[in-house]
């Protein structure tokens, strides 16, 4: 297997012959496929299901899995802003093409991933949650292994070409089931047909959403080394299957293969759920990168077993439109699996209040209020900041009174109060004055919860940029957690960290 300069091409499916030359390499990716009954966990069809493959943009399903976890825990919110770094902006297409320092709401970021398969947005999500994309990739790998995806290893958040970015059809089936089981509140994002943003109209690359009855996601992918991939889910009545096709030699052949699998095996699925929900064998804590996740993929590992292939029938044009109406309100997390809860979360905040709060967010740099999923986020070119729920790239328990912590340089020594235990962070800005505004705003929102806290800013160098953390020194863990709860009730994101 050679090294390819090809970028993610989901946005523009290309026509390929069964064998195509890319540079000096032969375009002939190995194929895999699998169909699983989601109600029973029984395998209905499998071909090369345990062989290593490159996931391409199907990688982004795990990226969103970790993002949905943050939303589920209240550490991020759909109206929070994600900042585009220089690293994120440098990603190869497909991407939105946002400039460094600009922001996009979490809600719009999800839609950009699902429809446009935007690599720049995937990298920005990774940095928001993990601090760096490399660290986030280790978090992804740790999560995969906890879910039982033992042969999966992630090297980036987007699926752009990397020899160490590997998975199997069986592992991706596990991820598809886990996504539906864990996050029915957010799963409906995957059935979005079209996303309009900043004058651009982006259609979902999964064209089978319009052609296969009951198909409600999940994600396509393509690189020269992977071929054309599709992980999907189909539900009709009480039956549900999860299916994956990897290594298609064209988008059309991949889609026809998937249609054939659904047609042949769906009716064999049980209408009665007997399998339990997908769970983590060993729960992974936030920002946990697990054990050593270094990986080396030998060319011999990417092989193809010789098994009969499913017959791929032609697809009838626009056979069935599977799009469901979007619900108007967020639903509570269910106590058990229930397909009726699968609706895209939206805000009930009226537009007038929304505009006022959006203005407040720009001037103070603090997340306030809620943003509708269809609202274009404010582009704040004058200030770069990270929502408080984003963890810093370097742990905050570095020794006090040192001048360098990894790549970070402290502006001034931390207050004496900080040495007693916990701190909370309410944001980061590239402007010292703006960082102080974050503190002032948080202080006014926190009231009694921050009465004994001492505000301070902390300078750090990251990627050639000078940033300022806006933090409060606390006394103990109970006070820090209470302060964060109070701030979040006022729509000010924050997280607590030990000194």
CATH number at residue 264: 3.40.710.10
Residues 393 and 257 occupy one common structural domain: no
The pLDDT of residue 444 is 84
Give the model's pLDDT for residue 173.
98
- At 482 the pLDDT is 82
**What are the DSSP calls for 62-128, one per residue?**
HHHHHHHHHHHTTSS-TT-EEEPPHHHHTPPSSS--PPTT-EEEHHHHHHIIIII--HHHHHHHHHH
Q: What is the pLDDT of residues 24-34, one digit of tens each?
A: 445 567 899 99
Task: Provide the domain limits for residue 100.
Answer: 20-341
Q: Write down the residue that tokens 């699996």 correspond to.
A: 337
3-class DSSP state for residue 219? strand
Among the residues of 96-250, which ranges form H helices? 106-111, 119-130, 133-146, 169-182
| pLDDT at residue 489 in the model | 76
**Domain match, 272 and 357 both:** no
Q: Which string of b and e fits 232-260 if b means at least 16 CB within 10 Å?
A: bbbbbeebbbbbbbbbbbbbbbbbbbbbb
Per annotation, catalytic residue among 57, 102, 191, 496: 57
Which residue in the list 32, 47, 60, 143 is annotated as catalytic? Answer: 60
Query: pTM of the predicted model, to two decimals?
Result: 0.61
Q: Are residues 196 and 124 in the same domain?
A: yes
Angle at 31 (CA atoms; ends 37, 26), nearest 5 degrees: 165
- Residue 438: per-residue pLDDT: 85
305 and 407 part of one domain = no
Distance, CA of 5 to CA of 386 (rounded, Å): 31
SS3 of residue 442 by DSSP: helix
- Annotated active-site residue 94? The verdict is no
Of 117, 158, 250, 343, which is the active-site residue? 117
What's the burial of 468, exposed, middle or buried (CB within 10 Å: 0-12/13-18/19+)?
A: buried
Both 78 and 154 in a single domain?
A: yes
pLDDT of residue 450: 85
Query: 69 lies in a domain?
Result: yes
Same domain? For 384 and 326 the reply is no
For residue 293, what pLDDT is reported? 45
Annotated catalytic residue 57: yes
Query: Does 398 share its domain with 312?
Result: no
According to DSSP H, which parts of 382-476 are helical? 432-446
State the Rg of the chain over Cα.
23
Residues of the chain with pLDDT under 70: 1-28, 287, 290-420, 462-464, 475, 498-499
Tell me, yes or no, whether 8 lies in a domain: no
Domain limit, last residue, from 320, 341, 362 = 341
Q: What is the pLDDT of residue 306?
A: 44
| Nearest to 59, CA basis, from 193, 142, 166, 191 | 166
pLDDT recorded at residue 364 = 29
Q: What is the number of domains present in the chain?
A: 2
**Catalytic residue check, 352:** no
Instruction: Output the domain CATH number for residue 439.
Output: 3.30.70.1070
27 within a domain of the structure (yes/no): yes
């Amino acid at each position: 297997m050679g090294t390819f300069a090809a970028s993610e091409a989901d946005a523009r499916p290309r026509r390929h012959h069964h064998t195509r030359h890319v540079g000096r390499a032969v375009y002939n990716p190995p194929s895999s496929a699998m169909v699983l009954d989601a109600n029973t966990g029984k395998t209905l069809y499998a071909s090369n299901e345990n062989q290593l493959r490159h996931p391409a943009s199907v990688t982004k399903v795990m990226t969103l899995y970790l993002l949905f976890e943050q939303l589920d825990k209240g550490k991020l919110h759909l109206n929070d802003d994600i900042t585009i770094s220089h690293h994120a902006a440098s990603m190869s297409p497909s991407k939105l093409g946002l400039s460094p320092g600009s922001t996009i709401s979490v809600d719009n970021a999800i839609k950009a991933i699902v429809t446009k398969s935007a690599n720049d947005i995937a990298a920005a999500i990774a940095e928001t949650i993990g601090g760096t994309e490399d660290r986030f990739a280790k978090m992804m790998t740790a999560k995969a292994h906890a879910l039982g995806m033992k042969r999966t290893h992630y090297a980036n958040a987007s699926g752009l070409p990397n020899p160490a970015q590997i998975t199997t059809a069986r592992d991706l089936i596990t991820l598809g089931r886990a996504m539906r089981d864990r996050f029915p509140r957010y799963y409906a994002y995957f059935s979005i047909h079209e996303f309009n943003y900043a004058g651009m109209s982006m259609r979902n690359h999964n064209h089978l959403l319009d052609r296969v009855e009951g198909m409600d996601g999940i994600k396509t992918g393509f690189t020269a080394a992977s071929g054309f991939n599709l992980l999907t889910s189909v539900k009709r009545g009480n039956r549900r299957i999860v299916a994956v096709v990897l290594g298609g030699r064209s988008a059309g052949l991949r889609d026809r293969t998937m249609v054939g699998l659904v047609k042949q095996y769906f009716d064999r699925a049980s209408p009665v759920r007997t399998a339990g929900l997908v769970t983590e064998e060993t729960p992974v804590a936030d920002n946990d990168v697990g054990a050593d996740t270094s990986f080396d993929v030998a060319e011999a590992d990417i092989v193809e077993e010789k098994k009969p292939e499913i017959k791929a029938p032609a697809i009838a044009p626009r056979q069935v439109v599977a799009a469901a109406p979007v619900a108007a309100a967020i639903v509570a997390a269910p106590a058990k699996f229930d397909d009726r809860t699968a609706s895209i979360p939206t805000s009930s905040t009226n537009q007038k209040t929304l505009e006022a709060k959006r203005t407040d967010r720009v001037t103070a740099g603090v997340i306030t209020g809620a943003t509708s999923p269809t609202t274009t986020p404010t582009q704040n070119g004058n200030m770069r900041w990270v929502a408080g729920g984003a963890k810093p790239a370097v742990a905050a328990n570095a020794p006090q009174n040192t001048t360098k912590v990894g790549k970070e340089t402290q502006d001034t020594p931390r207050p004496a109060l900080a040495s007693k235990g916990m701190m909370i962070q309410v944001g980061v800005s590239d402007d010292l004055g703006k960082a102080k505004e974050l503190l002032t705003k948080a202080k006014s929102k926190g009231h009694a919860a921050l009465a004994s806290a001492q505000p301070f800013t902390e300078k750090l160098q990251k990627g050639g940029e000078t940033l300022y953390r806006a933090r409060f020194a606390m006394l103990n863990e109970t006070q820090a957690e209470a302060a964060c709860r109070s701030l979040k009730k006022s729509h000010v994101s924050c997280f607590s960290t030990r000194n």
